[in-house]
């Protein structure tokens, strides 16, 4: 499920483990990344909001 929402960020391995392909997802896919985290059946994904300071 996770990979289907954001395949440019997550990849499920044959053994079922999840690989993070990038720790900084491209702009414009935050909704897809959030949907992946919310739909993960084993809760393997958690999100942390990081604020940017100027």
Query: Among 49, 53, 45, 51, which Cα is nearest to 3's?
Result: 45
Pairwise CA distance, residues 16 & 7, whole Å: 15
Q: Please report the pLDDT score of residue 14 as a whole number.
A: 92
| Domain assignment of residue 18, given as a range | 2-39
Of 21, 20, 24, nearest to 44 by C-alpha is 20
What's the structural domain count of the chain?
A: 1
Tokens of 53: 């300071």
Tell me, yes or no, whether 20 lies in a domain.
Answer: yes
- 17 in a structural domain: yes
- pLDDT per 10-residue tile (average), the chain, 54 residues: 85 89 85 88 78 59
Whole-model pTM? 0.71
């Amino acid at each position: 499920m996770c990979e289907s929402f954001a395949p440019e960020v997550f990849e499920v391995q044959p053994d079922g483990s999840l690989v993070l392909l990038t720790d900084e997802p491209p702009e414009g896919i935050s909704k897809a990344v959030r949907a992946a985290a919310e739909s993960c059946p084993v809760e393997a994904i958690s999100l942390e909001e990081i604020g940017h300071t100027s």
